[in-house]
Amino acid sequence: IEGGRLNLVPVDYVVDAMDHIAHKSGLDGRCFHLTDPDPRRVGDVLSIFAHAGHAPPLSLRLNARMFGFIPESLRREIAGLTPVRRIGEQLMKDFGLPPHIMTFVNYPTRFDCREAQQALAGTDIRVPPLEGYAWKLWDYWERHLDPELSLDKTLSAAVKGKVVLITGGGAGIGKAAALKIAAAGATLIVVDREEERLRALGKEVEDAGGRIATYLCDLTEFDQCDQMVKKLLEEHGAVDVLVNNAGRSIRRSIEHSFDRFHDFERTMRLNYFGALRLTLGLLPAMQKKKAGHVINVSSIGVLTNAPRFSAYVASKAAMDAFARCAASEFADDGIAFTTINMPLVRTAMTAPTRIYEQTEMLTPEQAADLIVKAIIERPDRIATRLGIFAEVVHAVAPKISHIVMNTAYRMFPESAAALGLKDAAAEPQLSPEQIAFSQLVRGFHI
């Protein structure tokens, strides 16, 4: 926004000018404005500080006077509307600015500093150009005044003394995240369907001095889920952070799934209905506390519309859609929803597919770091550049997206399981072309 002109002068100039004028005879009883004789507009000031902070320059500026045709009373009524006011407050909060700064956008006052200029004539006392010292202000602010300097952006600060629940925490991504969260001082709750994995994890956490409670539960059995939620709330009260990590993946093309409706049912039952039932069971306590965070471990496949993963992607997409709706409904209840469109991770889930041996993937620890990032920063979504790019391409040019994905689909074979082969070694070796393509789209579901 271009805005009005701001009178910005360094304190050095003010002190030197006051000292000179105060000691100069014949000036008693007169008024001197120590202001910039050529004040900068708001847009110019922002551009200068953007350059000082190595930020991208402003490419478009709107003069606020262009809205002058709107009557002042109408502008006040529009600004007073609840949605407009809340959006404005959120924007100011996101930028770290006090709301009253907007009063300077159309700052109308102009100061006459001719008396001061005449009194300072013949001296070297003058207002220096903002470009010459803006970097000093920026450097000092960044080193000493930036409010984020005092913020503790560690996992420990985010979870210490809080209750964090992770589903599917007995192995893979869930286990790696559980160990990090327990070490940070959280009261950790892990849900898994395999007792042996829970027992081993519990011992590992407790041996390291952490606190953990484990619950044996198959989230696809809704009665078990309801009983577990009831017991959990009785023993721990509200959950502060829920990580819906448990999931089931199936890599099989649709043409090999015509008689396998149960594949779609079982992925949906765990990835969507199981996660949803647990979330619905814990939300009331979060709402009562006016605080909470739900993190859904989704897939990059939702953004890329990955072939051969229609059952898996559809189930994850359902939970993504629920989270977007819920985020709108609970925005004023202090409950955040984060979706992690996780790229490919080398776990037991991906191990049976031989072509992944040539594909670069995240380790479970790297994937757990994305969950840690979600807990600390509470964003709406975490996604890779590749995933976002694929989503944009599909939104702008869906036909091109289909061609690219179809090329990948035809280039890579079905898995041995999809073809009804019991021996995974029966799968053909990857060609150099296939290996090159898999390296090009690292971490991509193919």
* Residues 162 and 140 sit within 8 Å (Cβ to Cβ): no
Token pair of 307 as six digits:
């072939």
Non-local CB neighbours of 376 within 8 Å, separated by 6+ positions: 153, 154, 155, 157, 158
Torsion of CA 254, 255, 261, 266, to 10 degrees: -40
Token pair of 332 as six digits:
């004023």
First to last CA, the chain: 45
Task: Write down the catalytic residue from 215, 272, 312, 356.
Answer: 312
Closest by CA position to 271, among listed 293, 248, 252: 248
Which residues in 404-433 are b (16+ Cβ under 10 Å) and which e?
bbeebeeebebbbbbeeeeeeeebeebeee
- State the DSSP code for 55: P
Non-local CB neighbours of 279 within 8 Å, separated by 6+ positions: 242, 244, 294, 322, 326
367: Cα separation from own chain's centroid: 15
* Active-site annotation holds for 312: yes
User: Can you tell me whether residue 215 is helix, strand or coil?
Assistant: strand
Non-local CB neighbours of 148 within 8 Å, separated by 6+ positions: 96
> What does the radius of gyration of the chain's CA atoms come to, in whole angstroms?
30
Pairing of strands 40-41, 5-6: antiparallel
Closest by CA position to 17, among listed 91, 127, 97: 127
The Cα 357–Cα 430 span in angstroms is: 10
Residue 101, CA distances (Å) to 23, 68, 92, 359 in order: 36, 19, 9, 51
Backbone φ and ψ for 333, nearest 5 degrees, come out as -105, 5
- Enzyme catalytic residues: 312
